Structure 1
Amino acid sequence: MKKYSRWFLALLVLVCASCKPTPPVNGHVVPEAKLTKGQLIQSDPNRMANLEIRNNLDALYLLMDKLYKRNPSEWKKGGAANREEAETRVRHAVDHHTPLPGLDARDTKAMELALDPHFKGDRVGTLIYGIGDMLITAHGGKRELYLIDGLDAQRVYNAARNVEIAMWLLARRRDDAGHSLLLSNALSEQEQNLSFERLFGGIIGRTDLVAEFTAEKYRRSVIDYGQSFFGGQFLQFLPVSEVAGAASSL
C-alpha cells in the first residue's frame, strides 16, 4: 500500500504542476468576468454566447468612437450637442434594443441607410446602431441568454456575414463626388491605420465561432452521452461505502 501511495503522490504532484497557469507577459492577463447570480442559470453555450455579445458590443462602441473622431461632422447631423452625447444615444438604443431616436429604421435597414450615398443623416451613429441592433436581433433580441433560451445558428451566421458586407461597403462605397462615405482604414506612404479592419474582423470571428458551436450543440450532446455510456463499460465501479471499500481491498 505504501508503494502505491508514493506513486499516487508523485502522480498528484505532476498533475498539479501541469495545471499551473502560464504567468502573464507584460501584464496581459486573460479577462475573466466576475461570478454573478445569473451565471447559475446559464449553460456553457449560454455563457459563450453572452461573452461573445458583450465583447462584440465593446468592439462596436470602440469602432463608433474611432469613426466619430475621424469623421467629426457626422455626430452634428444627428442633433447631438457633442460627440459624447451622440455616442450615449447610440449605446442606450443598442443596449436596450430600442429604436434610435430620430431614425425610422432598425438592424439591416439602418445599415443599408447608413451606407446609402444619398443619406444626409449621421452615418456613424446609424451604422453602429444598425450593426448592434442586428447582432442582438440575431441572438433572439437578448444580450443575456439563460437555460430557457436557444439560438438559431443560421441567424447568428447570417449576422457575421452582414458585418462582413458592411465592412466591405464601408471601405469601397463612394458618394457622388467620389469621396469615401466615411473615413476609416488608411493605407498609404503617409499613414497606415488598419485598426478598423481588425475590430470588424474580431466581431466577425467571435460571431462565426458561436454560430458553428451552436450548430454542433445537439450533435455534441449525443456524442457526449455516447462517450459517457460506452466509456463507463470499461471502468470499474468505485466503492461508495466502508463495507465496499473493505471488500475491494481484500
Structure 2
Amino acid sequence: MTSRDFTAVQQPLPRPICKPFAAWRRLVLGVLLIGAASGCASRQDHQSIISNSSSIKATELLQSHADRMATIGMRNNLNSLYRLMDKLYLRNPREWRKTGLADMQAAKRAVHRAIELDQPLPELGGRKDIAALGYALSAEYQGDRVGAFIYSIASMLITAHGGRTEFYLSDSLDPQFIHNAARNIEIATWMLANRRDAQGKPWLLSNEISADGRNLSYAVEFGKIVARLDLLTDVLDERYRRMGVNYAQGLLFLNFLPVQ
C-alpha cells in the first residue's frame, strides 16, 4: 500500500451557494469583521489544542455552530494524535533516539511545532499529508517513524480542512475531503498494524493481542478520530442542504418575517 492508495484531501474551490445567502453572508461578515479589529487566527495555539476546554474568545462571534464544531473537532483530533504519539514513543523508544534530541519530551515538542506552525519535518524531504503517510511506514524511510507517522496524519487532517485548525463564517469546508480524511485514517490504522520489516517485525509496536494481555487502545483512539470526522461530514452536508431548503421554503410558502 503506497501513498497512491490514500484519497486526496486537497481543498477545492468553495462550493457555490445560493446568491441571496451569499449576499447575506457577505453583509454579515462585513459588519462583524469591522468590529473584530484584532482579526482571526487560522490556527489554534498549542495551549488551545492540548486543553480540553478553552476560554470564550471574541472571535467566536464569527463562528457558526458548524464552525465551532469543526474547531473543537480539530482540537480533539490533534489531542488524540498527541496521545498516540506518547504511547508509540513509550513502546518504541528507539524511534525518538533517532532524532538526536536530548529526550522524548524534546522529540515530542519538535513534532508539536512542526504540526502547529506548518513546518516540514526535515527527515520527510518536504513531503506532507498523504505523500508523507506512505513514506513514513516504508522500507525507504530510516528516520523517526513515530514522529513522521503522527506528523503525516496531522498534516493530512489539516490539509483536508483547508489548511486551518480554526474555522469561521468566511471559511468553506468541503464534506467530501473530510470524508476522505476519515477513510485515510482507517488505511493508516491498517498500515500501522501490518507494515513490517524484512524480518517480519512491525515497523512500530502498537495494538497487541497475546497471552500476556490485550492492548487495543491505539485502535480505540484512531476510532475516535474517524467518528469525529464522519460526524462533521454529516453536519456539513446538512448545513449546505438546509440553507437551500430554507430558502426554497421561504419562496414556496411566501412566509413573512414576524414584526412583533
Deviation at 1:150, TM superposition (A): 0.5
Q: What SS does the aligned partner of 1:98 have?
A: coil
Map Cα deviations across residues 205-241 of structure 1 (whole Å, 9 max, x no partner).
11111122222321111334456787896x9x68x4x
Find the counterpart in structure 2 of residue 46 from structure 1: 67
Length-normalised TM-score, structure 2: 0.74
Mapped partners of 2:249, 2:55: distance in 1: 32
Q: What SS does the aligned partner of 2:221 have?
A: helix
Find the counterpart in structure 2 of residue 187 from structure 1: 209
Q: What SS does the aligned partner of 1:99 have?
A: coil
Q: Which has the higher contact order (CA 8 A, sep 6+)?
A: 2
Length-normalised TM-score, structure 1: 0.77
Superposed, 1:70-89 pairs within 5 Å as 70-89=91-110
Deviation at 1:153, TM superposition (A): 1.4
Deviation at 1:33, TM superposition (A): 4.0
| 2:123–2:143 Cα contact (<8 Å) kept | no
Question: Radius of gyration: which is bigger?
Answer: 1
Find the counterpart in structure 2 of residue 97 from structure 1: 118
Task: Choose which of 85, 96, 115 in structure 2 pairs with 1:64.
Answer: 85
Deviation at 1:69, TM superposition (A): 0.2
Find the counterpart in structure 2 of residue 212 from structure 1: 234
Stretches of structure 2 that go unaligned for 5 or more consecutive residues are 1-51
Paired residues, number: 208
RMSD of aligned residue pairs (Cα, Å)? 2.2
Superposed, 1:83-232 pairs within 5 Å as 83-104=104-125, 105-225=127-247
- Identity across aligned pairs (percent)? 46
Comparing 105-114 and 209-218, the one that deviates more: 209-218
Mapped partners of 2:147, 2:60: distance in 1: 32
Stretches of structure 1 that go unaligned for 5 or more consecutive residues are 1-30, 241-250
